[in-house]
């Protein structure tokens, strides 16, 4: 019975969050009233191909992080569960597949962080290489 109550509460909260954030975000906008944000203008004269390349690198880095962090957490928990489950028997379980998946997810997280942190340098380097050709 308690599980059903928790399940119902979780489903209702997901539906409410979905409704507020996706379907009707005006509720939040009316409460926060970001007037200064709505008055800002985007200056398209300063937006050149180098800046667009930097924004693209930032977007790729963010997407890599959003994709790989949950995967990394899932694989780490799986590895911990396997090791805890087998600690009484022996340490002979083959975890090579999980270890390689953890390594690849960690590498994607690292590349995403590098793209986010060094977006300006990477964007300038790629732009200068294409301009000089």
Q: What is the pLDDT of residues 24-74, one digit of tens each?
A: 777 777 776 655 555 556 666 777 777 888 888 888 989 999 999 999 999
Range with top average pLDDT, 31-35, 38-42, 79-83, 129-133: 79-83
The 10 Å CB-count burial string (b at 16+, else e) for 48-66 is eebeebbeebbebbeebbe
Q: What is the pLDDT of residue 37?
A: 55
Q: Kindly report, residue by residue over 104-117, the tens digit of the pLDDT.
A: 999 999 999 999 88
Q: How many CA atoms lie within 13 A of 44 on its CB side?
A: 0
Q: DSSP of 33-74, one letter per residue?
A: --HHHHH----TTS--HHHHHHHHHHHHHHHHHHHHHHHHHH
Q: What is the pLDDT of residue 32?
A: 66
Q: What residues does each domain of the chain span?
A: 1-40, 42-133
């Amino acid at each position: 019975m308690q599980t059903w109550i928790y399940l119902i509460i979780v489903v209702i909260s997901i539906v409410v969050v979905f409704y507020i954030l996706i379907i009707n975000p005006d509720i939040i906008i009316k409460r926060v009233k970001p007037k200064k944000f709505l008055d800002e203008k985007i200056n398209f004269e300063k937006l050149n191909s180098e800046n667009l390349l930097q924004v693209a690198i930032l977007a790729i880095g963010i997407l890599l992080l959003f994709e790989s962090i949950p995967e990394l957490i899932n694989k780490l928990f799986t590895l911990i569960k396997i090791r805890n489950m087998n600690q009484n028997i022996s340490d002979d379980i083959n975890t090579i597949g999980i270890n390689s998946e953890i390594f690849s997810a960690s590498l994607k997280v690292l590349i995403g962080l590098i793209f986010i942190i060094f977006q300006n340098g990477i964007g300038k380097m790629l732009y200068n290489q294409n301009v000089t050709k």
